[in-house]
């Protein structure tokens, strides 16, 4: 079953409604829609050898979102077994972070008042994955070339982005020198790293139920990149 995005789905995330509890019910329906999409991607990834756990973000104003719901998200991260393995390796002090769903490298579908986004994101606190990627690419030219080829193989419209910096590095035309320059500025533990693709609201509405195919195909296409980033003890 595929879900279509509706005009009303985007309305609850307009600035003047982000802190309005009257829209909690509408945001909950969007949360469930995105979580359903993530669940179906999780199921599709399983026979491809990738074990994922699906989660969804808050739909109501709360301390964790500064009492303002700017976007709605659902995401996929390491399965329970792999997170427990990380937590066990790091021990009590760091293990709680390593086992937390969102402090991971995640595959995410996100919606705000203007766009639907499919993305891979390395959380700033998931430094184990960030350091793994950075050291591997900067120390091995073959790994760098392989990573660039994986990004080039993604569907059109993906870009590699550092934290909240404005610069876009379009995956279709990425060169090792460009990735190397970006990684010089990337500090795991401080910065997000994103590989993202955006679908404008108008296009999402026009696609109808095919919009979910855009989301799922985008996220599944990221699996090779996702697997290359993950660090294991």
Query: Starting from the edge strand earliest in sequence, which strands make up the sheet with 72-78, in order?
Result: 52-56, 72-78, 105-111, 115-122, 193-200, 159-162, 169-170
Q: Is the pLDDT of residue 57 over 90?
A: yes
Check residue 155 and report its DSSP letter: P
- pLDDT value for 94: 79
Q: How far apart are CA 10 and CA 7, in angstroms?
A: 6
Q: How far apart are CA 113 and CA 20, in angstroms?
A: 15
Q: Is the pLDDT of residue 92 over 90?
A: no
Say whether 223 sits in a helix, a strand or coil. helix
- Can you state the angle between helices 176-185 and 127-139, rounded to 10 degrees? 140
Domain 7-229 has CATH 3.40.50.2300: no
Q: How far apart are CA 22 and CA 20, in angstroms?
A: 5
User: Do residues 126 and 105 lie in contact, with contact meaning Cβ atoms separated by under 8 Å?
Assistant: yes
Average pLDDT for 36-46:
98
Q: How far apart are CA 186 and CA 38, in angstroms?
A: 28
Where does 91-192 show beta strands of DSSP type E? 105-111, 115-122, 159-162, 169-170
How many Cα atoms within 13 Å fall on the side-chain side of residue 80? Answer: 1
- pLDDT value for 86: 94
Phi and psi based region of residue 72 (left: phi greater than 0; alpha: psi -120 to 50; beta: remaining)? beta
124-182 tens-digit pLDDT: 999 999 999 999 999 999 999 999 999 999 999 999 999 999 999 999 999 999 999 99
Lowest mean pLDDT among 92-96, 148-152, 173-177, 208-212: 92-96
Global pTM?
A: 0.96
Q: Is the pLDDT of residue 63 over 90?
A: no
Q: pLDDT band at 2, cuts 50/70/90?
A: confident
* pLDDT, averaged across the chain: 96
Q: What is the rounded radius of gyration, in angstroms, for the C-alpha atoms of the chain?
A: 18
- pLDDT value for 1: 64
By C-alpha distance, which of 160, 224, 221, 145 is closest to 192?
160
Structure tokens at 59: 């739909």
Q: pLDDT band at 228, cuts 50/70/90?
A: very high
Average pLDDT for 208-226:
98
């Amino acid at each position: 079953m595929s879900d279509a995005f509706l005009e009303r789905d985007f309305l609850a995330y307009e600035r003047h409604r982000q802190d309005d509890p009257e829209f909690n019910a509408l945001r909950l329906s969007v949360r469930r829609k995105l979580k359903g999409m993530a669940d179906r991607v999780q199921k599709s990834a399983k026979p491809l050898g990738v074990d994922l756990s699906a989660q969804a973000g808050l739909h109501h104003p709360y301390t964790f979102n500064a009492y303002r719901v700017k976007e709605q998200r659902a995401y996929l991260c390491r399965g329970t077994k792999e997170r427990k393995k990380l937590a066990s390796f790091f021990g009590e002090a760091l293990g709680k972070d390593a086992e937390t769903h969102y402090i991971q490298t995640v595959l995410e579908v996100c919606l705000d008042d203007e766009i639907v986004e499919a993305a891979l994101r390395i959380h700033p606190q998931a430094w184990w994955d960030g350091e793994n990627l950075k050291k591997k690419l900067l120390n091995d030219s073959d790994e760098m070339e392989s990573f660039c080829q994986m990004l080039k193989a993604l569907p059109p419209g993906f870009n590699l982005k550092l934290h909240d910096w404005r610069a876009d590095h379009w995956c279709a035309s990425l060169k090792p020198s460009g990735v190397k320059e970006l990684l010089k500025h990337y500090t795991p533990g401080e910065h997000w790293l994103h590989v993202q693709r955006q679908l404008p609201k108008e296009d999402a509405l026009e696609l109808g139920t095919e919009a979910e195919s855009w989301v799922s195909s985008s996220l599944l296409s990221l699996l090779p990149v996702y697997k290359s980033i993950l660090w294991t003890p």
